[in-house]
A = this chain, B = another copy of it.
């Protein structure tokens, strides 16, 4: 089945070959170029929930710009905010994004992940020197040592764990009341995707899994992850949660998952939001 992966499907051509060509980039920065309207890491939106594109004349002359690529023959840029903000997105942003088209959401996601990375990487992790944006914003170079730095994307596994037709879902303390979702965790150095899935489920819920399979992936710009959605079979049902990670973990039957995904007010839990890959994994699982 076709999943609706939020933040994917960006229509802007990344035009990778232009990034390393300062003359070509400069030639694109005309009055035809478009600047994405942003307030810090949040998007400016019209009353209809559309992204706001202005011109480079609106850019802060002291600020840095990231070249997103080319759409409809016009170069697209996004402004790096002056202040690094590593907090989670505010809840009102989620409400606003619900009205945004999938194409706009994808363009915003690329911009947010990139400009957020720049705002948090003004200094060289290797020597502490100041860094400067280069290659149209797809690299930063240190001004004091030869180090080159590249935008970071963190792989995260997120998994539906199944046993005898039931699914293991968990609650993080920060979730809204009633919400359960798929377990998830960062892939660590030295792990395959499959090993990371098995370790996370064992750590967080005390459940041993086998037969890990890949289902789908999603770019997640808060701040910049690659969610790798998987399915696994549990060896048993006994749960021992890691209280530092989860508040609760439970097995839900297929009808219980169906009720939650249908938004039934009597459902045992509230499903993850449509924009999250966990929601799409649950759709995939119910449709199998």
Contacts and interface: CB of A to CB of B under 8 A. Distances in A.
Contacts of A147: 86, 120
Interface string A135-151: 00010000000010111
B117 A127 contact: no
Contact of A124 (B123, B186, B194, B226): B123
A121 B128 contact: no
Assembly stoichiometry (copies): 2
Nearest to A219: B190
Contacts of A86: 126, 147
Interface of A: 5, 7-10, 14, 16-17, 20, 84, 86, 106, 109-110, 113-114, 117, 120-131, 138, 147, 149-155, 186-195, 199, 203, 214, 216-219, 221, 224, 226, 228, 242, 244
30 contacts: A8-B190, A8-B191, A8-B192, A16-B199, A17-B242, A17-B244, A110-B188, A110-B189, A121-B125, A121-B126, A122-B128, A123-B125, A123-B126, A124-B128, A125-B125, A125-B149, A128-B129, A128-B130, A151-B188, A151-B189, A153-B155, A153-B188, A153-B189, A155-B226, A190-B219, A192-B216, A192-B219, A192-B226, A193-B228, A228-B228
